[in-house]
Structure 1
Amino acid sequence: MSYRLEDYDYDLPEHLVAQTPSPARDRCALMVLHRFSGRVEHRRFGDLPSYLRSGDVLVLNDTRVVPARLLGTKETGGRAEVLVLDPYKPPEEGKQAGYRCLVKSSKPPKEGGRLLLEGDVTATVVQRDEDGQAVLLFDCDNLLHVLEHKGRVPLPPYIRRESHREREEDRFDYQTVYAREPGAVAAPTAGLHFTRELLDAVDAMGVDVVRVTLHVGFGTFAPVRTEDIREHVMHSEYVRISEEAAQRIRAAKSEGRRVIAVGTTVVRTLEWAAYRFGEVRAVSGLCDHYIYPGYAFRVVDAMITNFHLPKTSLLLLVSAFAGRERILAAYREAVRNEYRFFSYGDAMLIV
């Protein structure tokens, strides 16, 4: 086992970074990695039911991506861009305490400065940090409503679009078909491959489909910057597990049925609850649970995930689950077979 960050790197040709999704969600490539043997299979995502069985619990993250980017100008002139990092905050709380935002402009706005943004909204800077983040007060009653109607999709930095122009399809493509709880600023991308028809087929074969919520934050793309991975500090994201979901997951574990997480966000949600309580219980709050090699998994038996960036906490998480050598070997095979990587890319099932 290695705790050196440099040991979680790999070479990826730039043309394999997917800029748009597969034309059909469930027709993307699916690599199946058997984590105890290292065996690899190459399938299509629509083949997923053949790896499931009646009684399995398939856990989805039902967060909904908010178009949380607003363009505008500073009142002193000059372009500005705002990404609202906590759009899930209740409007009453947001009007009093403000929203934490990432602000981009030629010169950082000063505290007390105002930004004139899309949707005829004005934002006042009440606190500014050195990392480009700031707390803004918006002069509107319901910021989430403004963002849903006037905001832009906050795509990851490796998905390139011309200037500030949007690809209209991103509003649909960068959203799971089961999204329902608005609050994320990044998609839980493992879930992008599901269609409603595939979920119906899974349900019909006796798989118990359970939903939890983790509002994915922009920090999910942040690289690990410490040479010793144990020194990394995770960003916090809002999590909610209902009593019903917790009961169904506990029942599966007590009966020896598999819990299959759709995405690293679900893995972190379930493992965080189990770490706190010794089992999955109903809970809500900010989760900064960090999973890296050496971690003892308490809940998750299998996971569906995408192919992750080098030297990130996401790659460390899947390495903790399947082993660093097997994950990197699988990634090298994915490169040889021209798999598509990252958010709009292909999928991996680790069993």
Structure 2
Amino acid sequence: MIKIDAIDTQIIDLPTIRGHVLSMATMTEQSVVLVEVLFSDGSTGIGEGTAIGGLSYGAESPESIQSAIETYIAPAIIGMDGDAVNAARLRAQKAVVGNPIARCAVENALWDGLGKRLGLPISTLMGGAVHTGLEVAWTLASGDSDKDIAEALEMLERRRHRQFKLKVGKRAVRDDLAHVGKIKAALGDKAVITVDVNQAWDMHSARWGLKGLQDIGVAMVEQPIPAVQRSGLSMLSKSYEIAVMADEALRGPEDALNHARCHAADAFAVKIAQSGGLSPASEVIAIGKAAGLGLYAGTMLESGVGTAAALQLFSTVETLQWGTELFGPLLFKDDILTTPLRYADFQVHLPEGPGCGVTLDQDKIKFYRRGAPRQTPVKVSV
């Protein structure tokens, strides 16, 4: 039996190419928890745990992810059968309540290790890929209408993206609508426009906001009100033609089932980290599909490791009505993979090779590791 021998973690801090403006924070850096599982036969597996905006977005931070893994998950599963991924992830689930991102990072590393030992990609272990490339959206989040328009036109010209998500919610609804309307008018029918509010509106604002966005011609609005207000989200989804997507409200299969049961949304933004790993994310997908809801492959702004793991799962899904937003690696000034993921012809392409299909650039990891000495500063102040 090949046993789980050890689990190592480290935090790396990656600067972004520009300020990424959300309703609750402006990101100029992303902190990534990299996980390496070492097995008794000498093989290894890598995974990633990434939160957005520290604790301003959700209940997990890079520091808490690392602590949960080192203090609770690792002691619980070290010594277990390394090939028994389900047994190990279920043990980890019992060892920590919540902490889906920490559990996801470890589970991804276990799948990666198993795939490498078998010489197979994770997608094959999950039944086989039906797509080698997936439509990928880009988030316009500078907060400046003219900058966002210029950025979108450049992406269209380069054939990198033709669906754009706008981050709103930091300003008054009237100002947000003017911002979105200006961008939609500039792009016209050349691109699909969606909007993410990140829970920033109350119900009164959401009613006006959804009506305005619908009139502008926006295709979909994501999590306009707080995640706990499921009945409110249901009311909004039934009141407007614009599609309403649940995101932060989905913390795993149970949340997905409750939203599907009362038709609280028209679509699910499925995130492997928010779901707690590849296996529970596949359950969220199955629930959404069975309920006739649209599916969207979401991101926690992961680096290439987490993005590759997500691609392995979503490549096995027949229809993603809203595509994906697996653009995380493109948001950073540097890539930490020896061979970066390929973005071309409006798609992100499934990497080849066993496991997740990617390899870390150890020189880059050493440079960006938190606390490591650097010759040049990379952290940008807010």
TM over 0.5, shorter chain:
no
More helix by share: 2
TM-score, reference length from structure 1: 0.30
TM-score, reference length from structure 2: 0.29
Q: Which has the higher contact order (CA 8 A, sep 6+)?
A: 1
More strand by share: 1
